[in-house]
Structure 1
């Protein structure tokens, strides 16, 4: 439902209204004024909401503390990763060395067996 009103404007306001009507393609001044009022109300509400959304900036000490804590967490994670990698590498080296020693012992035992067999063969002659 619309209300009829008689309004009068100064020249500057009337020129602004006419320019706004051309830009927004309004045919009647009442529609343009209604739109301007809606935009004004929206801006007013946004300004009232803005202070609620502003988050206080933390102090330098708080930021340094938070950054230090994050760095410590990252370093701890990296230290655990490196320790686990080192442990896996150590275990792999141990397994490899055990395999090598077993192979060497098998070869030495075989050579000793050959030597003993050769010695016994010569002794039997």
Structure 2
């Protein structure tokens, strides 16, 4: 569903939208704004996905490091018990 709106835009924004319309062969300003919005949302989603992947990788690395440290401490304790 589309809704008609009146917009006031700075000249540089108007030029950007007009050049976008020419570049993408669009006839209507609303279509250009919709496409720009979709591209923005896709870029934001990719950024969010990449941040989530980084957080997941860092979390996994920290868990692996903690597991190795636990095993090392456990081995050291067992070694100390044997020596006592």
Question: TM class by shorter-chain length?
Answer: 0.5 to 0.7
Q: Displacement, 1:44?
A: 1.2
Q: Larger relative contact order (C-alpha < 8 A, sep ≥ 6)?
A: 2
Query: TM-score with structure 2 length normalisation?
Result: 0.63
**Higher Cα Rg: structure 1 or 2?**
1
> What runs of 5+ residues in structure 2 fail to find an aligned partner?
66-84
CA–CA distance in structure 1, aligned partners of residues 51 and 38 of structure 2: 21
CA–CA distance in structure 2, aligned partners of residues 51 and 10 of structure 1: 33
**Which aligned runs of 4 or more in structure 1 are off by greater than 6 angstroms?**
none
RMSD, aligned CA: 2.0
Query: TM-score with structure 1 length normalisation?
Result: 0.44
1:20-72 alpha-carbon deviations (Å, 9 max, x no partner): 0000000000000000011111111111111121223x6xxx8xxxxxxxxxx
- Are 2:4 and 1:10 equivalent residues in the alignment? no
> What runs of 5+ residues in structure 1 fail to find an aligned partner?
63-125
Q: Displacement, 1:4?
A: 0.7
